[in-house]
Structure 1
Amino acid sequence: MESMLAAMNKKIVPLQEYFLQGSVLDASRDILLHRLRGICDNIGGIEKFQDHEMVYTIGTNANNVLQLRARRALDDPEAPWLLRYVGEPDFGDRSKHTLVRSSIDVGTSDNLVQFLTEMGFRLDHEFVVSGHFFRKGRMKITVSKIYRLLQPGDTDKVEALSKSYLVELGVVTVSGQDQVQEEMKNFAEHLKPLVHLEKTDLRKLQQMGT
């Protein structure tokens, strides 16, 4: 684990993710998609995705746990797997318009799960996420539904966790680009009252796949 952390700290450019989250009921999803289509940059129309995400952990106690996310595209079997690390967001700074956390994304081969298992990681939970995404400049907007697996590892048998869609607005950039928060705040205003994008406590959302 120490060698992996050293690689993250020394060999990969540190990035930060600025993000806001909200939700919209199923009945209002199409209205929101229409709004996003009109104000975003997607030239080829709405882009869809369907991913299977597995969350792995390693550590001896609650205060010493490393969590990594392995994600694969169910709608594009040829796409590389994605290994992702995200840090804990800071909820204490009320002066910031968005939440901020460290973020590292690495494309990998399809034996990622085997690699993590051999490293000593254990599967904590898994889920399927399916939805649409848009681009507005450097911002990425996703409208997605989260599904739990009825049988471990079987992505064909899933059940929606709620009657709403998760809406996320995010920017991944190098450290110190706090000015992006004003840009995100202004964009979020254009989506009201359909959806209110806020600084959501992710500690609650992290339990949705359990």
Structure 2
Amino acid sequence: MALPVTPITSSTTGSTSNQEYLLQGSVYDNALDSLLHRLRGLNDNVETAPERFHDHEMVYVLRSSSSNPVAPVSLRARHALDHPNMPWQLRYLGQAEMGDKNRSTLVRSCIDCGTSDNLSSFLVEMGFRLDHEFVVKGYLFRKGRMKVTVSKLFRVLSPGNTEDIDPISMSHLVELSVVAPAGQEAVGDDMRTFAEHLKPIVQMEKVDHRRLQTYQMAQ
């Protein structure tokens, strides 16, 4: 999937700095019901329906000046369209680390912070510029400290208009993640074991976003 999203609802408050352990996959729309049925059976609350979310995410980038060239800084502003009174979420994601081939998951640093609804204008005042935006709709399942999101991504056809959208693909993005303090590599083994239960509906993998970006630039 082209967009490096981390679909979670915008209910986060406070600020945390941790490592995110991540596996990703995708499933065609016609296999969605089978995947949701499987996840309901694995969910902590088997008898309840999964949490649903409908969010708008905007990715802002701060680029360096020609006199002081440094790598661009990217921040994600996200809010829940179905719960407009909830706090906005500001998220920073570090460069993904593939690690050695024996590591079970991709690992990246992450910082989450709940904010007020003037987040976008604040980022612009700080010098950030909107790079791209999208709408995401989906389902959230929980298994212990693991989160599984199944998301449909939509491109925003008219800037800022979250009603004028179009599906990016004929598939859903599937993400299995755990946010935990650094150094808890055993988390990855639990995630890999859980991912085995989702086969053959979806294959969860470590996605090398650097190779993906290089491929996209070459197209």
TM-score by length of 2: 0.85
> Is there any run of 5+ residues in structure 1 with no aligned partner, and where?
1-11
Counterpart-to-counterpart distance in 2, 1:107 and 1:123: 19
Deviation of 1:96 (Å): 0.5
Identity %: 57
User: Could you say which residue in structure 2 is the equivalent of 1:38?
Assistant: 41
- Name the counterpart of 1:141: 148
Q: Specify the alignment match of 1:18 in structure 2.
A: 21
The answer as to whether partners of 1:14 and 1:175 remain within 8 angstroms in 2 is no
Counterpart of 1:115 in structure 2 is: 122
Matches within 5 A, 1:5-154: 14-42=17-45, 43-60=47-64, 63-154=70-161
Distance 2:134 2:95 in 1: 20
8 A contact 2:17–2:112 mirrored in 1: no
CA distance in 2, matches of 1:98, 1:78: 35
Name the structure 1 match of 2:4. Answer: none
Task: Tell me if the contact between 2:60 and 2:129 (Cα under 8 Å) persists in the aligned partners.
Answer: yes
Greater Cα shift, 164-173 or 40-49: 40-49
Amino acid corresponding to residue 49 of structure 1 in structure 2: F
- Equivalent residues of 1:51, 1:72 under 8 A apart: yes
Partner of 1:6: none
1:195 and 2:202 aligned: yes
Cα deviation 1:113-165 (Å, max 9, x = unaligned): 01101000000000001000100000000000110011000000100000000
Q: TM-score, normalised by structure 1?
A: 0.89
- Deviation of 1:75 after TM superposition, in Å, equals 0.7
Give me the whole-angstrom Cα distance separating, in 2, the residues matched to 1:139 and 1:205: 27
Q: Give the C-alpha shift of residue 64 in structure 1.
A: 1.8
The aligned runs of 1:162-181 (5 Å cut-off) are 162-181=169-188
Give the direction of change, closer, same or farther, for the CA distance of 1:124–1:34 in structure 2 (3 Å limit): same
Q: Report the Cα distance in structure 2 between the residues aligned to 1:108 and 1:53, rounded to whole angstroms.
A: 14
SS in 2 for 1:185: helix
- 2: distance between equivalents of 1:13 and 1:72? 18
Aligned to 1:78, the other structure's residue is in SS state: coil
Question: Alpha carbons of 1:115 and 1:16: their partners in 2 closer, same or farther (altered >3 Å)?
Answer: same
Residue identity opposite 1:75 in structure 2: D
RMSD: 1.7
* Structure 2: runs of 5 or more not aligned: 1-14
Give how far 1:44 is off. 2.8
Q: Provide the C-alpha distance between the structure 1 equivalents of 2:172 and 2:163, rounded to a whole number of angstroms.
A: 20
Q: How many residues align?
A: 196
